[in-house]
């Protein structure tokens, strides 16, 4: 599903159960798999987002990559109320709050959460949840 006034750039690959809200922009050569992207969010060119949820009014800088697969074949775990919980999922990307911005070439580890209105610097590797602005 692609919402009204959403623009998808050339050479994009939208896979699986992907839903993109209204007034979004998906840049050139972006791959999106099994994601929910809420309205007014942009994903910059040359990015990959898989098995993830992106909130409203966010911007993924060019080259942002979301990792979604553990190399040991185990289920992903995620911190919930200070406790590491098994998600029951072999593939799990990221949960991103409203108003989140990533710098170019940000890499996000599987299962990490970026809380509302947080951001990353260019080239940052997100190894833990980002909870503070």
Which residues are catalytic, by number? 45
Joined tokens for residue 69: 């697969």
Joined tokens for residue 93: 């990307």
Sign of CA pseudo-dihedral 126, 130, 132, 133: positive
Q: What is the 3-state secondary structure (H, E, C) of the chain?
A: CECCCCEECCCCEEECCCEECCCCEECCCCEEECCEECCCCEECCCCEEECCEECCCCEECCCCEECCECCCCCCCEEEECCEEEECCCCECCEEECCCCEECCCCEECCCEEECCCCECCCCCEECCCECCC
């Amino acid at each position: 599903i692609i919402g009204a006034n959403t623009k998808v750039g050339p050479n994009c690959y939208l896979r699986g159960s992907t839903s993109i809200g209204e007034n979004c922009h998906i840049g050139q050569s972006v791959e999106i798999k099994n994601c929910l992207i809420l309205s007014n969010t942009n994903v910059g060119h040359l990015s990959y987002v898989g098995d993830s949820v992106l909130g409203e009014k966010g911007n993924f800088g060019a080259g942002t990559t979301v990792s979604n697969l553990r190399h040991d074949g185990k289920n992903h775990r995620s911190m919930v109320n200070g406790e590491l919980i098994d998600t029951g999922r072999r593939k799990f990307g990221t949960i991103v709050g409203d108003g989140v911005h990533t710098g170019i070439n940000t890499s996000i580890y599987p299962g990490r959460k970026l809380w509302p209105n947080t951001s990353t610097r260019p080239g940052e590797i997100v190894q833990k949840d980002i909870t503070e602005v």
